[in-house]
Amino acid sequence: MSQMLKQEAELADRLSQWLRQDDLRMSVLAVVESLNLPQAYVGAGFVRNLVWDHLHGYNPPTPLNDVDVVYFDPSEQTQEKAWQTEAQLNREYPFVVWQVRNQALMHTRNGDQPYTSTMDAISYWVECETAVAARSVAGELDIIACFGLTSLFAGCLTHNPRRPFTAFQTRVAEKQWLEHWPGLKVVVPHQPEAPTV
């Protein structure tokens, strides 16, 4: 196993351990597993913020604004089932605010080519460290990280070049991540220069 793969595996193990130590997050993962949605994961701040909290020594963890449940079912023609599932979750498990979206349909809203999987869909999320998700499968944790876990554990906040840099700037300002987690480092990959006419 290469050194990079070994490091990623070790970080995934550490993240799994942190998730298991968080009763709220484990309850969320159990609820999502019970839905039996195809390729269903819980992503974004659910995972990202947990790591940032540990890096900053925050205990108890930062409250969750919402819980992003993502799944992939190309047989559905609208988000109606996702919205119904979301409403059901908010009625039955009101300990968090649920948001459920079928990623097989989200490309139309985002102006992208059709996504091929949940992982492909979240690889378009604005920050590389947000494109990480977890699920429980028969009690085992499964973590996907489109850009790996190294930058997340390094406390980076990295613009995903698949999205406009202005969208990244807006989210960093509006979410106030740097105020809440002051140890974060903003990383901007090289921006290609506009072609001259």
Q: Which has more confidence, 3 or 19?
A: 19
- Provide the pLDDT confidence category of residue 110 given band limits of 50, 70 and 90: confident
What is the β-pairing status of strands 185-187 and 132-137?
A: unpaired
pLDDT above 90: residue 192:
no
Q: What is the pLDDT of residue 131?
A: 98
**What is the tens place of the pLDDT at every residue in 66-97?**
999 999 999 999 999 999 999 999 999 999 99
Beta pairing partners, 33: none
Q: What is the pLDDT of residue 190?
A: 60
**Domain boundaries along the sequence of the chain:** 3-187
Q: Are 74 and 153 in contact (CB under 8 A)?
A: no
pLDDT above 70: residue 195:
no
Q: What is the pLDDT of residue 76?
A: 96
- Provide the pLDDT confidence category of residue 2 given band limits of 50, 70 and 90: confident
User: How many percent of the chain have pLDDT more than 90?
Assistant: 90
Mean pLDDT, residues 114-132: 97
Q: Tell me the residue ranges of DSSP E strands in the chain.
A: 41-43, 67-71, 98-102, 132-137, 140-145, 156-158, 185-187
Q: What is the pLDDT of residue 197?
A: 45
Q: What is the pLDDT of residue 194?
A: 47
Token output for 74: 């190309």
